[in-house]
Amino acid sequence: MKVLCIGDIMGEPGRRAVARAVPRLVAQRQVDVVIGNGENVAGGFGITPELAEELFDMGLAVITTGNHAWDKKEALDYFSRQPRLLRPANYPAGVPGNGSVVVESAGGERLAVLQLMGRAYMPTIDCPFQTAKREVARLKRETLAVIVDMHAEATSEKMAMGHYLDGDVTAVVGTHTHVQTADEQILPKGTAYITDIGMTGPLHSVIGVKKELAIEKFLTAMPRRFEVASGPSVFCAVLVELDARLGKAIAMDRIRILD
Ligand SMILES: [Fe+2]
Ligand SMILES: [Fe+2]
């Protein structure tokens, strides 16, 4: 099975880049399942039901989110109604939505996707490590193919999660920083890992935001309303090849397309 994992999709430029790249990659690389992080699709902040449906229509089977999951209030109900839209599993009990889902490829193979969020320089929520062990054990009763989206700021926290789950899950892929890291690897016990997949959105920007606005905020330390940048875009993803029966990763390819 081949799973394409797309990094944080930022605003309209990100959605356009997905629309362009996904059909091509699915055909050329025989992709079975596409997943992507949609926490920034709605003008950089959050996701709406309409935009989630748009991403599903573009071929995404599962949408993960993160700290921006709750930015659009119209999505709150939708999180509870749409099982393929995830929020981090380590939010406290009672928060709307789900942190994991099991989907099936066209070939009938099952894939579990689990979303976690780190706590270093992030909202303080339940322990992602303890949640991971509990959730992975539960998901593995349904399928051994498990991909974890670890949404976190600190590279160390993401690496720790990769090694903590090494041999237990198929892949741990990082999101949130919007900058792709060049450290894709198969860890010693067989789990594929990358610290951050990177952003899919406007290239000439500060992590997707109009650069002038971000610079002004750094210069003045005053609140600034951020807007998504325009211009050429970058598409960032990884392609995970795996043995779905054993849940083992075979390869991880890093993808970065400029257009
Ligand atoms: Fe993001
Ligand atoms: Fe984030």
Domain ranges of the chain: 2-258
Pick the CATH number of 2-258 from 3.60.20.10, 3.30.300.160, 3.30.460.80, 3.60.21.10: 3.60.21.10
**Run of H or E residues at 213:** helix 211-220
What is the pTM assigned to this prediction? 0.98
204 is in an annotated binding site: no
151 is in an annotated binding site: yes
CB 184 within 8 A of CB 192: yes
Residue 44 tokens read as 């950089």
Residue 247 tokens read as 């849940």
Q: pLDDT for 57-95, tens place per residue?
A: 999 999 999 999 999 999 999 999 999 999 999 999 999
Å from CA of 141 to ligand 1 middle: 31
Q: Which listed ligand is nearest to 207 at the C-alpha?
A: 1
What percent of the chain lies above the pLDDT cut of 90?
99
CB 252 within 8 A of CB 186: yes
39 is in an annotated binding site: yes
- pLDDT on residue 224: 87
Strand partners, 9: 200
Distance in angstroms between the alpha carbons of the first and the last residue of the chain:
28
Using alpha carbons, select from 121, 192, 117 the residue that is nearest to residue 154.
Answer: 121
Q: Which listed ligand is nearest to 236 at the C-alpha?
A: 1
As a whole number of angstroms, the longest Cα–Cα distance in the chain is 54
**SS3 of residue 54 by DSSP:** helix
CA 53 – CA 158 distance, rounded (Å)? 29
Active-site residue identified among 15, 68, 72, 210: 68
CA 240 – CA 247 distance, rounded (Å)? 11
Å from CA of 87 to ligand 2 middle: 11
CB 135 within 8 A of CB 164: no
Residue 204 designated active-site:
no
